Chains A and B, each alone.
Chain A
Amino acid sequence: NAGVTQTPKFQVLKTGQSMTLQCAQDMNHEYMSWYRQDPGMGLRLIHYSVGAGITDQGEVPNGYNVSRSTTEDFPLRLLSAAPSQTSVYFCASSDRSSGDYGYTFGSGTRLTVV
């Protein structure tokens, strides 16, 4: 099991560019989420999904899109990058069927928008 895999690990974008952060898990987890972590702010939920074909907005969804066409993949799209989106992005997944609702996190993508 690879767990939760995020790519790329580092990215520099110019303002206005678009890109997709990839997230894949091989644990057949139903729930997946995207968070951003900024200094002094803690982790904040961007979008989440409770299963393939189902997504919903979290606390800070503006400027981001998601889709969940398969159980394994949950990509995060930045539509038009802004310096305020400079952050560390974490993807996470959870197996609800086990009764333990803890999330497993990927190693993160460090994004800088210049």
Chain B
Amino acid sequence: RKEVEQDPGPFNVPEGATVAFNCTYSNSASQSFFWYRQDCRKEPKLLMSVYSSGNEDGRFTAQLNRASQYISLLIRDSKLSDSATYLCVVEGSSNTGKLIFGQGTTLQVKP
């Protein structure tokens, strides 16, 4: 079983749609969680950290369920510019600095 699993997609949605990505992780001792965005042939960029209480940044909402070892990202009112690959990232236990990446979920927003 992979340490971090994501549905690779692709997700093809029209502009204005709401789309949700899910991610599961296997290490129950994991402490830090993130969503990164990666555009084609570019470096990953931090989209948002994920906190236990859930957090929102504009059209983006992240949720963490520690009991189920599950992370989600919700994008509302999708824009063409949201087209990218979204990476679920988990840090191992004890502040190790070791990030484990999911394979990424590809989103294509169409006009």
Contact = CB atoms under 8 A, between A and B. Distances in A.
Interface residues of B, number: 20
Contacts of A48: 97-98
Contacts of B43: 90, 105-108
A104 B99 CA distance: 12
Interface in A28-43: 31, 33, 35, 40-43
Interface stretch (A19-27, A64-72, A77-85, A95-103): A95-103
B87 A103 contact: no
A31 B97 contact: yes
Interface stretch (B9-17, B63-71, B76-84, B100-108): B100-108
Contact of B98 (A41, A58, A107): A58
A33 B103 contact: no
Given A33-B97, A40-B103, A45-B99, A101 B91 contact: yes
B97 A104 contact: no
